[in-house]
Amino acid sequence: MGLKISKIFAISLIFSSFLLDINNEFNNLNANVKSLPANKNDLDLYHGMGVSFLCNATRKGFDLDFPKTLNVASATFASVVSQKHGGKIIERKKEQTVDLKKLQFIASLQLVESALQVCPDNVPEKIEKQFKIETERLKKLQGL
């Protein structure tokens, strides 16, 4: 019986070390892969998912808090760009590293803009007013 237990222990030890070797090789391969910057299609996909989440989570019956849901959607957008694309996007055919706080802010404005088109009844009046104020402020900053 002692021989049987030692065989099981030896087999499990060998199997564990084999799995560790595979995991180390996988991690080394992933470490050498350069993440690609997010292109327009990627950003459109993440935006669409964010709007869908925002509209679905705040519709009647769910009634989740719009500002909190918006924050989750825009933070997720920025997080995906950071983790999957190394915080880089392609804009005007140039690769750029983005400030994630700015990206989250811009994403939240874009998500509110889309929500006003897709699910306007879900957007609180206060959020709509803030959106208009912020977009006007940005236009002035950009000289438009």
Tell me the pLDDT tens digit for each residue of 38-80: 999 999 999 999 999 999 999 988 778 999 999 999 999 999 9
Count the domains in the chain: 2
pTM of the entire predicted model: 0.73
d(CA 103, CA 77): 8
pLDDT at 13 over 50: no
Check: CB of residue 74 under 8 Å from CB of residue 80: no
State whether 115 and 77 are in the same domain.
yes
Side chain identity, residue 36: L
- Do residue 98 and residue 118 come from a single domain? yes
83 and 26 share a domain? no
Task: Find the domain containing 25 and state its range.
Answer: 1-33
| Same-domain status, 57 and 29 | no
In angstroms, the CA 41 to CA 44 distance is 5
Do 81 and 127 fall into the same domain? yes
Which span out of 53-57, 91-95, 135-139 was modeled with the highest average pLDDT?
A: 53-57
Percentage of the chain lying above the pLDDT 70 cut:
76
Helices (H) and strands (E) in the chain, counts: 5, 2
45 & 2 share domain: no
